[in-house]
Amino acid sequence: VENSTIQNFDDAVVVKPCNENSYWGPCAQDILVRNMQVTYGVGMSIGSVTPGLDVSCIKNVTFENVRFQYPLKAVYIKTNPGDEGSALIDGITFRDFTVEGALWYPIWIGPQQQTTGPGESPCSFFYPLAGASCPTNPLVTISNILLENVVCTGGVLLPGVLLGNASNPIYNMTFRNVQNSGRFLVSPDYSCEGVVGQVLDSYPDPGCFSPL
């Protein structure tokens, strides 16, 4: 997918998972999205990905040379609740992004904010405000994630949300030259937990990466 202009209020481009029962193969993989101009939108997105016995899978996806103006989200990886089986999100790259005036979160990697049925525990639309919860899912593995040359300016709420599971953290995430500035009325810091990886030449530092 390349050389396109998008204006919407949902995922701008989204890669959905395949699984072991999918007609097209067991994994959505080897996908390139580049040279995109987006107004509003809710991300260059992965997912949402729900664990299951048929193993939902997305891997080897690159988004590059993307400009967002006034998005709700820009860099977006989202998981879903589920209590059996497993799922994989692996080898996802976001490179050469310009994000201007994000209205919500310029970067979100973690559970999808949603409203679901009775008895389920979704991630609140109000997270990370006080009292709001966003439970992570240990059955969805997120690994080998690269953000490189991502420049966000004019953000409103906070730099972003990075939520890995305590028993199955996001593994080998790299921030390389990720610059994130704005008014940040909620917090000047990321909401960040459960990440193993490295931060290089980036500001602000997410503050929760454990070393590899």
* Residue 131: per-residue pLDDT: 80
What is the tens place of the pLDDT at every residue in 129-146?
878 899 999 999 999 999
**Residue reference for tokens 């939108």:** 41
Whether residue 86 has a cis bond before it, omega within 30° of 0: no
Average pLDDT, the chain: 95
pTM for this predicted structure: 0.96
Mean predicted confidence (pLDDT) in 171-193: 97
Structure tokens at 31: 């996908």
d(CA 147, CA 182): 19
* Cα dihedral value 136, 138, 64, 67, nearest 10: -10
pLDDT of residue 115: 67
pLDDT class for 112, splitting at 50, 70, 90?
very high
Contact partners, residue 73, CB within 8 Å, separation at least 6:
41, 42, 43, 45, 102, 104, 105, 106, 107, 108
